[in-house]
Chain A
Amino acid sequence: MITIYIDGSAYEVNEDVILGHVLHEVKSAKFGSSCRGLFCGMGICFECVVKIDDDSNRRSCMTKVYPGMQVKTNSL
Chain B
Amino acid sequence: MNVLNVDVLVVGSGPSGLAAALEAHRNGANTVIVDSFARAGGQYWMQSNHGLERNDTQMQEGANFITNCENLGIKTITDAEVWGILPKYRVFIQQGLGDSIEIAARALVICTGAHDFVMPFAGWTLPGVMTAGAGQRYVKMYGKPPGDKIVLAGSGAFLWAVAATIVKAGGNLEAMVESNTNQFRLFGLIGRYPSRWTETRRLLSPVLRSGVQRLNGYCIDYAQGGDRIEAVKLRQVSNSDRVAGQELEMETDCLLVSHGFRPITEMTALLRCEHQFDTRKGGWYCKTDPETGATSIDNVYAAGEVTGVTGAQSAMIEGALAGLGVSEKLGLTRNGFKRKRARLIKRQLRTVRFADGLAELFELNKNAVPRIDDNTLVCRCEDVTWGDVLKSWDDGAQNLQAVKYWTRLGMGRCQGRICGVAVSRLLANQFGLDPRIFGFNHPRLPLRPVPVNVVHDAFAQKTCR
Interface residue? A71 (CB, 8 A): no
- A43: min CB distance to chain B, Å: 6
Interface residue? B360 (CB, 8 A): no
Interface residue? B216 (CB, 8 A): no
Interface residue? B205 (CB, 8 A): no
Main secondary structure of the interface of B (DSSP, over half): loop
B418 touches A44 (CB 8 A): yes
B81 CB contacts on chain A under 8 angstroms = 43
B418 touches A45 (CB 8 A): yes
Chain B 120-177 interface residues, beta-carbon cutoff 8 Å to A: 125-131, 133-135, 137-138, 141-142, 146
Interface residue? B328 (CB, 8 A): no
Complex alpha-carbon distance, A21 and B418, angstroms: 20
Choose one: B115, B127, B413; the contact of A35 (CB below 8 Å).
Answer: B127
A21 CB contacts on chain B under 8 angstroms = 138, 141-142
Q: A16-B49, A24-B146 are in contact. Are A37 and B36 (CB under 8 A)?
A: no
Choose one: A27, A42, A46, A49; the contact of B134 (CB below 8 Å).
Answer: A42
Return the CB mask of A6-29 against B: 1 if under 8 Å, else 0.
000000000011100110110100
A41 touches B36 (CB 8 A): no
A35 CB contacts on chain B under 8 angstroms = 127, 227
A38 touches B227 (CB 8 A): no
Interface residue? B432 (CB, 8 A): no
B291 CB contacts on chain A under 8 angstroms = none
Inter-chain pairs besides A30-B227, A42-B115, 12 sampled, C-beta below 8 Å? A17-B141, A18-B142, A24-B146, A36-B380, A37-B130, A38-B134, A39-B131, A40-B116, A41-B133, A41-B138, A44-B414, A64-B38
5 A-B contacts, Cβ less than 8 Å apart? A25-B142, A40-B130, A41-B135, A41-B137, A62-B37
Residues of B within 8 A of A (CB): 36-38, 43, 49, 81, 97, 115-116, 125-131, 133-135, 137-138, 141-142, 146, 227-228, 264, 380-381, 383, 412-414, 417-418, 449
> Lowest 5 A-B CB distances belong to which pairs?
A37-B127, A41-B134, A46-B413, A21-B142, A16-B49
